[in-house]
Structure 1
Amino acid sequence: MPESVTITDNRSGDSVEIPIVDGGVDAGAWKKLLGNVWFADVGFTQTAATQSAITELDGDAGILRYRGYPIEQLAEKSTYLEVAYLLIYGELPTPEQYEAWKHEITYHTFIHENVRKRFMEGFHYDAHPMGMLVSAVAALSTFYPESKNITDEQVRDKQIVRLIAKMPTLAAGCHRFSVGMPFVYPDNALDFSSNFLSMMWKIAEPHYRPDPVLSRALDVLFILHADHEQNCGTTAMRIAGSSHTDPYSATAAATAALYGPRHGGANEAVIKMLTEIGSIDNVDAYVASVKEGKGRLQGFGHRVYKNFDPRATIIKTIAHDVFEVTGKNPLLDIALKLEEVALADDYFISRKLYP
């Protein structure tokens, strides 16, 4: 017998039985019975805006899967471009499909010169790189007016390739502008992540060749952050896209959401907090001040994960490989001490505030 719920309007005695399908119920039946009664769910914590088979997230169990594949498996065995293909098309690519996909992405990494010269270089010298990126992504729609033809599958696929290929170029360009360094063109002899590192850190080398450990670490980070169900950025993009705007404008909306301190900007807040703490010797006092309500412990607690974040476990592992190449950052010692103190304190454990 199918599972269902029954809703009764105690004012009239009328009832409606609603079948539970894929863990959800149809709001249309609620509307028929209670047309003038609204379901208040400000944070969308219990509201499904669509049906999707892309990502499965179980916050209580600390599980994240893309198209049924555990995130741990993909981080160990796949590349970011393979995972991007998986998320978009539903299956991992065959070797032939993967080579064609890599070629398409690699040869769309360049941006129009006017994006750089007439637009990006017009920002104030101290502009935040994320603010620049939001604007630069939106500006691409003016260079590809055919992208507004969103009903054409071939046109849509072309914009998907362009967005994946050009986003590292734009992001690296925005960063280098913000620190007063010249723009670096893509090097199509490099793989996706190595190319991004080249555009970020190249100084005067004829050919920048990043350490393979660093390239792989970045690739894994891209995999871990490729999708996360309908989070803030995805919601912003879907809402903008529902108006049938072009993909660049919709992506700019998602990027704007990512800029916020309660979404992607949370990472920046962690760095600021660690810098403010300054030393391992100050950790205990800082934690005590947080417990007194005088501040927040950035990077602890997650809106969805109430056990542990599986991505954090993977990042911690690859971080050790990275620091063997780069040496340890002093802020890492502070972060590890914070983790040690918080995980030994019932104040944080009882509130399920895990790193």
Structure 2
Amino acid sequence: MNRLRWRARRGMLELDILLQDFLERHYPDLPSSQQIAFGDLLELGDNELWDMIQTNQSVVQPEQAIIIEWLRTGKQKMKPPTKATLTFDNGAKPIELPVLSGNLGPSVIDIRSLGKSGYFTYDPGFQATASCSSSITFIDGDKGLLYYRGYPIEQLAQHSDFIEVAYLLQYGELPTAEQKQHFDATMRQHSMLHDQINMVFRGFRRDAHPMAVMVGVVGALSAFYHDSLDINDPRHREVSAFRLLAKVPTIAAGSYKYNTGQPFMYPQNRLGYVENFMHMMFATPCEPYVANPVLTRALERIMILHADHEQNASTSTVRLAGSSGANPFACISAGIASLWGPAHGGANEAVLKMLEEIGDVSRIGAFIERAKDKSNSFRLMGFGHRVYKNMDPRAAVMRETCHEVLDELGLNDDPLFKIARKLEQVALEDEYFIAKKLYPNVDFYSGIVLRALGIPVNMFTAIFAMARTAGWVAQWNEMIGDPENKIGRPRQLYVGEVRRDYIAVDKR
């Protein structure tokens, strides 16, 4: 029974309570066939089992069907928990903690009062910690769901554009035609940089990484735009949001131009948001430049898919910096610095490096075997995801876009892209990858698309930062407007030396 109790402990609180209650009340009296069926059900993932209980879908195995029906009855009787009790094995007084439920996703235990009792929680990497409440983005990693303000990412990527998505993230609703036109026009008016910012660029070495330039220049914006730095004024926050959304693409393109030694290209208000960025990246004063609409749409989809992703490392960095009252330009600069880390924003760059390392289609088999070998540290980049335990919902859209771009540019016979397509095919058909749900993720396809667009590898994370600015700004604005907002101050489990007295240097 102890082993079963442990297996019945789940990540979803409602399911945990339901299974534990069933285990104690009914399991001991079940015939052995139904006890086995219950054990088999515990092998299912939380969301799969919860869906089976919630819906009226038929259960093929008869013994399991009986168990599910009992669990459904128990669920109908079960009210959502409102409190949890923390008990101690030393006889200390139990502590009651509120349980809060959102509109989607797991319930959370509110531990804010725990510190008053002399305890902290310990959760390195915040694996099971909700640092805030938010109404912007929802992720269900088991089901492979990503919603912006309730809208599935697949629908937005197929039918919307980046301006509309940025508006949605910022204001919570899709804009009317008039609202979208006003939002777009305002963004265009803010896209040009203060002329003296060119001198900030020139303070960097020509071979500086574009992300280093972006961290510095975005942070420096606060030195040029003093009229929108009162974070307690909603209008100031809105103006800062416009400026960041409009100017970050100009800065990103400028970091590329400066790196290559080409002259900066000014934004053109006649062009759309993504088309304007491509103009600033690839045009020169010598001749006209017209962006390919297929490539423009591909980059727009990449930006929509990367616009926000809940409370990840960079978004949490923006919120933590913002909780101190720092100005929005400094907060977004902090987010860019966090995104620069290879464990966060560098995944699509790592995919390209891996494809170059493979070098030829004939070597794919050897690399697949290395990935399967537990004693080998090598792993295939662009497969699987820390959050999505099923298919990355962004990957299907990006896969279609990838093939459109390669067809448009006639690059299907490019050696690197041939490796990518063959690797994708092998991974989707190989039983090892299927069993472990190591599907190609959005980074696998986006890296291929960005390379096909002619964007150098060292600019990949800068493109990511440009897209994610929409989410960062929305998250920052939501946090500042939250009446419960407090400065972030994590605690620690101290494992250093206990108190000791100073010893003079001649006696050590």
CA distance in 1, matches of 2:141, 2:158: 21
Shift of 1:289: 2.4
CA separation in 1, counterparts of 2:415 and 2:190?
A: 38
Q: Does 1:66 align with 2:66?
A: no
Structural mapping, 1:1-355, within 5 Å: 1-3=79-81, 4-22=83-101, 23-33=107-117, 35-36=118-119, 38-116=120-198, 118-204=199-285, 206-292=287-373, 293-328=376-411, 329-355=414-440
**1:287-338: per-residue Cα shift (whole Å, max 9, x none)?**
2223331422111121100101111110111122222322225322212222
Distance 1:263 1:242 in 2: 22
Shift of 1:106: 0.8
Q: Does the 8 A contact of 2:97 with 2:111 survive in 1? A: no
Aligned residues of 2:265 and 2:285 also touching (Cα < 8 A):
no
Partner AA of 2:421 in structure 1:
L
Residue type of the alignment partner of 2:179: Q
Q: In the aligned structure 1, how far is the partner of 2:369 from the partner of 2:260?
A: 36
Q: CA deviation at 1:107?
A: 1.2
Q: Helix, strand or coil for the counterpart of 1:27?
A: coil
Root mean square deviation, CA, Å: 1.7
What is the SS of the residue equivalent to 2:357? helix
User: Which amino acid counterpart does residue 303 of structure 1 have in structure 2?
Assistant: R
Tell me the SS of whatever aligns to 1:210: coil
TM-score normalised by L of structure 1 = 0.94
The Cα shift of 1:91 comes to 0.7
Q: Contact 1:306–1:354 (CA<8 Å) still a contact in 2?
A: no
Give the SS at the match of 1:216.
helix
Runs of at least 4 residues off by over 4 Å? none
The structural deviation recorded for 1:93 is 0.9
Q: What letter is aligned with 1:348?
A: F
Tell me the secondary structure at the aligned position of residue 125 of structure 2: coil
Question: CA–CA distance in 1 between the matches of 2:362 and 2:260?
Answer: 31
Verify the 8 A CA contact 1:184 1:202 in the aligned structure 2. yes
Residues 226-235 or 18-27, more deviating? 18-27
Amino acid at match of 1:134: V
1:216-271 Cα offsets, whole Å, 9 max, x none, are: 12111111111100011101111111111110110001001111111111211111
1:2 deviation in Å? 3.9
Aligned partners of 1:147 and 1:246 also within 8 Å: no
Which has the larger displacement, 260-269 or 331-340?
Answer: 331-340
Give the stretch that moved more between structures: 205-214 or 160-169: 205-214
The one-letter code sitting in structure 1 at the alignment partner of 2:123 is: D
Say whether the 8 Å CA contact 1:130–1:259 is kept in structure 2.
Answer: yes
- Opposite residue 16 of structure 1, the aligned amino acid is I
Query: Letter of the aligned partner of 1:334 in structure 2?
Result: I
In 2, the alpha carbon distance for the partners of 1:230 and 1:9 equals 31
Cα distance in structure 2, aligned partners of 1:287 and 1:136: 42
Contact 1:64 1:70 in 2 (8 A): yes
User: Secondary structure of the residue that 2:97 maps to in structure 1?
Assistant: strand
Q: Which has the larger radius of gyration?
A: 2
Query: Relative to structure 1, is the Cα distance of residues 255 and 331 closer, same or farther in structure 2, using a 3 angstrom cutoff?
Result: same
**1:55/1:229 contact within 8 Å kept:** yes
Equivalent-residue separation in structure 2 for 1:353 and 1:131 (angstroms): 33
Cα distance in 2 for partners of 1:54, 1:194 equals: 27
Which residue of the partner structure matches residue 446 of structure 2?
A: none
Does the residue aligned with 2:147 lie in a helix, a strand or coil? Answer: strand
Q: Deviations over 1:87-139 (max 9, x none)?
A: 111111111111110000011111112212x1112211211111111111111
- Contact 1:147/1:247 (<8 A) preserved: no
Contact 1:260/1:266 (8 A) holds in 2: no
Q: Which runs of 5+ in 1 are unaligned?
A: none
Shift of 1:146: 3.3
Question: C-alpha separation between the residues in 2 aligned to 1:190 and 1:205?
Answer: 19
1: distance between equivalents of 2:229 and 2:256? 29
Q: Which moved more, 1:269-278 or 1:188-197?
A: 269-278
State TM-score, norm by structure 2: 0.67
Whether the 8 Å CA contact 1:134–1:256 is kept in 2: the answer is yes
Q: Tell me, which stretches of 5 or more residues in structure 2 are unaligned?
A: 1-78, 102-106, 441-508
Separation (CA, whole Å) in 2 of partners of 1:45 and 1:205: 52
In structure 2, what residue type is equivalent to 1:339? E
2:212 aligned partner, one-letter code: G
* Distance (Å, rounded) in 2 between the aligned partners of 1:348 and 1:41: 30
Q: Name which of structure 1's ranges 176-185 and 256-265 shifts more when overlaid on structure 2.
A: 176-185
Equivalent pairs: percent with the same residue?
47
Matched residues in 1 for 2:247 and 2:229: separation? 18
Distance 1:284 1:255 in 2: 37
Separation of aligned partners in 1, 2:122 and 2:415: 45
Aligned equivalents of 2:127, 2:166: Cα separation in 1: 26
Farther-moved stretch of structure 1 (60-69 vs 290-299): 290-299
- Mapped to 2, the partners of 1:25 and 1:82 lie a distance apart of 35
| Alpha-carbon distance between aligned partners in 2 of 1:25 and 1:303, rounded to the nearest angstrom | 23
Report which stretch shifted further, 217-226 or 98-107: 217-226
The CA distance in 1 between the partners of 2:235 and 2:390, in whole Å, is: 42
